[in-house]
Every structure is written in structure tokens, then in C-alpha cells.
Structure 1
Amino acid sequence: MSALRPVLTGRGAGPPTPDVRLGRRERTLVGLAWGALLLNVLTYADTATVVPLPTLVGSALTQGAVLVALLLALVVNPGGVVRPQVFLLLLTVLAIGASAASLYSEFFLSATFRAGRMVLFVAVLWLLSTWFGRRDMLLLRLHRTALAVVMATVYLGALVAPGLAFAFQDRLAGVIWPIPPTQVAHYAAVLLGTSLLLWMCRLVGGLRAGLMVLLSLLPLVATHTRTAVIGVLLGMVVASLSLLLGHVRVRRTLLVAGGGGAIAAALFISPLTVWLLRGQSADEANKLTGRTDVWSAVADLERPWIEDLFGWGLSDQSFGGLPIDSSWVATYVDQGWLGVGVQAAVLLLLLLMAVVHRPGPERAIALFLVVYCMVASVTETGLGAPSVYLLDLAVAASLLTTGWRARQP
């Protein structure tokens, strides 16, 4: 547990160094700011819920949460101290590009509004950057707590109204707050992978980790989300390999998981195939539930070179009235080749940071988050606009940040 315990104590008037224990007030404010950022990206959908809210009210709660996050970040960091971050600099370029593209967008008002939200989102991350690189992995802990709260609402909805929670193709969705199955799977997958890695690195006890793994695995299976399962598997393989030499528990876990997985696949190949297909035909599965048809339509799109380069401004990430469901295709539509290039640079930067980072739980968890986001980006949107995926990557960047000390007042 030593990696999670700060080695110094004390409080100052300004943002703490990575080695200084936060006071209760500072920790609470940072946690609330992070929670407000998560609420900001929980898009309110007009679907059936246990307690229905008017769409205008639900949207106002989520969209206004970024202002609350900004206020909280300014309260806890009144001097506006920021930490130099290439990762955040790249997100700033994305935000500026989105703002510039909105100026000539056909949907000027909506594109400008979304670009403004992205600017505020990135500004909050800049204000919280002074807590990157802490030895207690503060932002990871806050992120896990926020996701656990969201998952608690999913469980509550499934208990209160199981018929409503499984109404969409028998896949688990959130019905206290409207959360689609794919996003439920995302939150469960991140909690599952990080819990396993913390346990393998002996940073959490077996009982606590086992409970969290079980509570994350059940909704992941219940959502029938193939991308999330593949992302967890690949992310865990890469993260575990980075720990292979220094952790006996990791080697044993990989051996048991590899052997057990092979046996389970051989014994349960038929039910696994049914679970993967979700009642679809092989052709529907190959077309990724119709996603490839939308991607082909985008590929055939002809537009002026300036829109090809910079996009036409942030949209609801749909095309022709259908969801795009790919970060790469959606970013190309909204932010052009510039956005695609910056998005790729963000992922490449984090991978390079992980390569040069010292071996340990920070690097392993960061690699898991980055690999998971890379896999999910193929069939999910979010890397080019404010989303939980960007929060995942911000946590990864905070874990890979080292070698900085804030000047004490």
C-alpha cells in the first residue's frame, strides 16, 4: 500500500506538490470538480426512466455541470496554477480547432455552443493539472469513485425496474439516469480492469478487489457489449505484460487466466457465440450492427477542402440522422483531418510516455486505459469531444506524469 500513501504531510495555501497530503477540504473540492466533469459528459437521452425528467431539465443539469466544475476548480486552485502538459496542449488544439470550425458551420449556434463547452472542459482539466503525478494516484481514485456512483444508479435501476432496465434488446441500461448499454459497459470495464491491476500490484486487499471485480463483471456481461469485452481483454494483456518481470502475482494470474480462459472457451463455445451475436445474423455482426454503412456514406462525402481539413464544427456525432459510432469517423466529420491527427497524437503521446515511464502500477493502469480507449474508439465516439473517454485519458496522463514540484507559497 506504500505507493498509495503520500510520504509527507502538511497543508499550504496553494496547490500541493505531488508528495503533500491534501486536506479534507482540498480533496473534497477536487473530487467534486471531477464528479461535475463526469456529470457534464453523461449526455441526457430522451428515453424511459424510473423518474422521468423533462429533456430540457436533464440537458441543463449535464451541460451546466461544466460551469460548476470550473467554479470548484477555481476555488481549490484560486491562483490558476497549471502544470505543463503536452497532453492538455493537444486537447487545447482540438478545442481551438472546433471553435474555429464552428464559425462557418451550417449549424452555427449548436456548433459554437458545443465548442464552448469543450473549451470550458479543457480549462477545468488545466486547473486540475497541478494534481497530476501524485504518488497516491488521486485522480484515479476520484475517477473510480465517480464511476462507482454511476454504476450504483445502474444497479438501483435494475433492482427497482428490471423490465425497463433490460428493455433494449435484453441489454442492461441505466434507468435512474438514462445511460445506454454501451456506456454502462464502458464504466464497468474501467472499474473491472483497474480493480484487477490494483489487486495484482498489492495496492488493494483481496476481499475489496474481489467485490469490485464481481460488481463490475456482472453488468459488463449483462450489457452484451463486445467492444468493451475486447477492450478489457487487450488492455489487461498489455498492462499485465508491463508488470510481468516485477510481480509474482501477475505471472500467476496470467497463467491461471490463460489456462482457465482456454478451457472455458472450449467448454462453452456455443453459449459464448450466442452471447456475442446478441440475436443478430452473421452478416449483421460483420457490419457492426449497421455501423459500416454509415462509415461508407461518410467516406463517399464530398465537401470543400477547408471542411475536409477542419471539419464543420462539433455536432451530435451523427450523419444523415444515424449515429456514427466511431471516434475516428466522427472526428473527421466534425473536426476534419486536423482533428483526426491530433486525436492520434494524443494516443501516441500517452503510449510513448508509458514506454519511458518506470515500471509499476501507474504505468500498467495507464496502459490499460489507453489500450481500452483505442479499442473502444473504433465503435464508440468520444475521443474528439468532451466524454468519459477523455477523462480516462486524463487519468492515464496523470499517472504517467513525473518530475514536477509546485513552488510552495
Structure 2
Amino acid sequence: MRPGLVRPDAGQRGRNRRVVVGLVWGALFLNVLTFADTQTVVPIPGSLAKLLTQGALPLALLLVVVANRRGVVRPQLFLVLLTLLAVGATAASLYAEFFASATFRAGRMVLFILVLWLLSPFFGRRDLLLLRCHRICLSVILGTVYLGALLSPGLAFAFQGRLSGVIWPIPPTQVAHYAAVLLGTSLLLWMCRVVVGRHAALMVVFSFLPLVAAHTRTALLAVVIGMAVASASLFLGHVRVRRTVAVSVATGALVAVVFASPLTVWLLRGQSAEEANRLTGRTNVWSAVAEIDRPWIEDLFGWGLSNQSFDGLPIDSSWVATYVDQGWFGVGMQGAVLLLLLLTALVHVRGPQRAIALFLVAYCTVASITETGLGAPSAYVLDLAVAAALLMPERREEAS
């Protein structure tokens, strides 16, 4: 075909492929969607939930083969590190005491990363395709949270007055996570003039309300730090960013002074200062993990992928959970992923891609202290995959 000529079906094929990529991302998101053991508006059997979430992964593989028929992959150090993490987890799981469950989880992790590899030709697109897919998934999930709150507000706020998902059972911490990521990316897209004010305002309100209602301190802190880091990367080149930062700082200082007492009560959530300092009992579990004595090989590579709990209690820290399951090797790979994305963002050209990637990396880093997910397939890994896609050099060719 001569340069400059476009095949008649190229536009339609491109649109179809974008739709398929969106379906792949949706299937990946369904695969990692948290299923809490809580009451819902319509009861969902656990076996059905597992069938839906676990069945979404092979569906994602099938769809990504349709989108990337030639099996093309782009060199991507981020995915190489995730692959090494999966290989280490698989090796440890083969010798785990809970062989069947650990090996099953490791196999799903390998398949998850394989789908990301097959999506790599869609990294670095000028139309921010994966970011758009990610935001659509977040919007749909939050839409179900809103629907549940409208249908059964008592049930939605049954857990200590914090907003939960009751159409699909989603704990408040994850509601806050989804809302925070949607809020931060919406603000940054508006500050970079990628989206118009009316659309941005709608998305900001849509995501801010569940973030506050979920009453999750880690997500609030993470979104503030993430926005500060991202805004700093745009501060010199965008007048709108400078104005927004100035107004936000002034407003935040005023609110902190005027409403200091109510804010303190709200942040404590009825806990004592000692309970808050112990992070709602999380530090007790972390201390117990630090005291375990195990062979050096398990200390280095862990004892296989688990449900990220210790003695029946949730670990609630990506770093501690990764150490338990994948040892110091896993902790090192997890840290390397975050460091790689941060360094790549710092040398990337200034713009919305860099700012949003910095926000996602900063958010996931802060959230990883009291949330699990960076060492196994999760919404946090999808956040980081979006960051990696934004930082990938642009190219015109697409997989076919």
C-alpha cells in the first residue's frame, strides 16, 4: 500500500480493536475484583462469585488473542519484573505445604501477566487507551456502589457507618481505592486540559462522594500525596495547575483550622489514639510475622502464594504479605517495579502521561503500606500497568 493511503476498513477495524481491548481490561478487572464475605442486596453464592472472577481470566486471554492475533509483544522492563515475580512465586508454590491452592494461584498469576504481555502493543498509545479503559471500569464499579446505596442504604453503611458495595460485595477500603484513583486521574486530566470542565466536574463529584463515605484514611492520604507529586511535575508548565494548587492549599489550610476538632473525630473513626497508632491492629500481625523463624530458603523465596493472611488474620500490607508468600526476593521485585516506574516517570517528557503515572505510582506506594495487592494480581497491579502504558514511548503501529 502506498504511503498516505488508508484502507477503507482501517477506521472500523481500529474501533473494533479498541472495543476488544476494553473488554480484555474489563475481564482483567473482574478477575481481581474483591469479593467480600458480606451481605448483598441479592445474595451471591461464593461458588458463583469464584466462577465469575476466575473465569474472567481465561476470557481475557481469549479476547486479547483476538485483539493481538499475531501475538506481538513490545519490550517492557515493567512486565519483565512482574514475570520474574511470577516465576519466583511459582517456584515457591511448588514446594508449599498447601501445594494445590498455592500452585493454582501461581498459575493464575502467570496467566494474568501473559495477558498483560499480549496487551503490550497497546502501551504508549497517544489516545491513552488503557487509561480510558481503566477509568471506565472504575466508573462502572462505583456505579454499582451508588446503586446499592440507593436500594439499601442501611446495608451499604452497615460496616461501622462506612460505604460498602452491596450489589457486588466490595469492602470500604476497596471502594475508597477505586474512588481515589478515578478522582485523581479526573483532576489531572482536567488540569492538563485533556477533558473539559463540565465532564471533569461530574467525574470529580462522582468519585469524591464515595471516597469520603468509605471513610478510609489510607486512601485519603494516598490521593493527597499522589496529587501533590503529580502536580509538582506540572507546576512550572501549566497556569491552571498553579492556580488549582494555590486554591487547594489555601482551602485545605482554612478547613483544617476551622474544622480541626470534627476532622480529628472523623479520622479516628471512634478509635482511641493508641488503636489508630497501631493501624487498627495491623501492627500486631506484622510483629507476629517478624517473629517467625523459617529456613533461609523460605526466608529468601517465601512459602508460596496464599490468601495473604497469617494465622487466620489479614496481613493488610503488601510488603509484609509479599515477604510471607514470596520472601525477600518478592519484596525486592515489588520494590524494583515501583522504583522503575518512578525513575521512568522522572525522565519522561512533561505532560499528562507523566503526571498521571506519577500519581498512580505514588498512590500505590502509600496504599501498599496498609493494603495488599502489589505482589499478586490485583487492582493495584492494574493501576501500575496503566502507569507503565502511559510512560511507554509512543508508536503508530498497532498489533494486528
TM-score (norm 1): 0.94
Post-superposition Cα deviations, 1:89-109, rounded to whole Å, max 9, x if no partner, equal 000001111111011101000
**Equivalence for 2:49:** 58
- Aligned-partner Cα distance in 2 for 1:198–1:175: 30
Classify 1:378/1:10 alpha carbon distance in 2 versus 1 (closer, same or farther; 3 Å).
farther
Post-superposition Cα deviations, 1:116-148, rounded to whole Å, max 9, x if no partner, equal 110010000000010000011110001000110
Secondary structure (helix, strand or coil) at the match of 2:359 reads: helix
Q: Does 1:110 align with 2:98?
A: no
2:128 partner amino acid = M
Post-superposition Cα deviations, 1:176-222, rounded to whole Å, max 9, x if no partner, equal 00100000000000000000000001111111101110111111010
2:334 partner amino acid = Q
**Equivalence for 2:389:** 398
- Aligned-partner Cα distance in 1 for 2:265–2:398: 58
Classify 1:188/1:12 alpha carbon distance in 2 versus 1 (closer, same or farther; 3 Å).
farther
Question: Which residue of 204, 221, 232 corresponds with 1:241?
Answer: 232
**Equivalence for 2:163:** 172
Post-superposition Cα deviations, 1:8-33, rounded to whole Å, max 9, x if no partner, equal 995699xx9xxx99622101100000
**Equivalence for 2:211:** 220
- Aligned-partner Cα distance in 1 for 2:201–2:180: 14
Kept in 2: contact 1:11–1:22 (CA 8 A): no
Q: Which consecutive residues of structure 1, in runs of 5 or more, have no partner in the other structure?
A: 1-7
1:195 partner amino acid = S
- Aligned-partner Cα distance in 2 for 1:103–1:56: 25
Q: Which consecutive residues of structure 2, in runs of 5 or more, have no partner in the other structure?
A: none
- 1:398 Cα deviation after fit: 0.4
Q: Does 1:257 align with 2:251?
A: no
Classify 1:40/1:407 alpha carbon distance in 2 versus 1 (closer, same or farther; 3 Å).
closer
Question: Which residue of 291, 312, 319 corresponds with 2:310?
Answer: 319
Question: Which residue of 29, 35, 38 corresponds with 1:44?
Answer: 35
Question: Which residue of 342, 355, 361 corresponds with 1:351?
Answer: 342
- 1:54 Cα deviation after fit: 1.1
Q: Which consecutive aligned stretches of 4+ in structure 1 deviate over 6 angstroms post-superposition?
A: none
- Aligned-partner Cα distance in 2 for 1:272–1:318: 32
Say what the alpha-carbon RMSD is for the aligned residues.
Answer: 1.7
TM-score (norm 2): 0.97
Secondary structure (helix, strand or coil) at the match of 2:353 reads: helix
1:215 partner amino acid = F
Kept in 1: contact 2:67–2:399 (CA 8 A): no
**Equivalence for 1:128:** 119
Classify 1:48/1:64 alpha carbon distance in 2 versus 1 (closer, same or farther; 3 Å).
same
Kept in 2: contact 1:45–1:55 (CA 8 A): no
Kept in 1: contact 2:317–2:369 (CA 8 A): yes
- Aligned-partner Cα distance in 2 for 1:197–1:43: 27
Secondary structure (helix, strand or coil) at the match of 2:163 reads: coil
Question: Which residue of 268, 291, 294 corresponds with 2:282?
Answer: 291
- 1:45 Cα deviation after fit: 2.6
Question: Which residue of 138, 141, 147 corresponds with 1:147?
Answer: 138
Kept in 1: contact 2:229–2:358 (CA 8 A): yes
- 1:406 Cα deviation after fit: 3.9
Aligned residues: 397
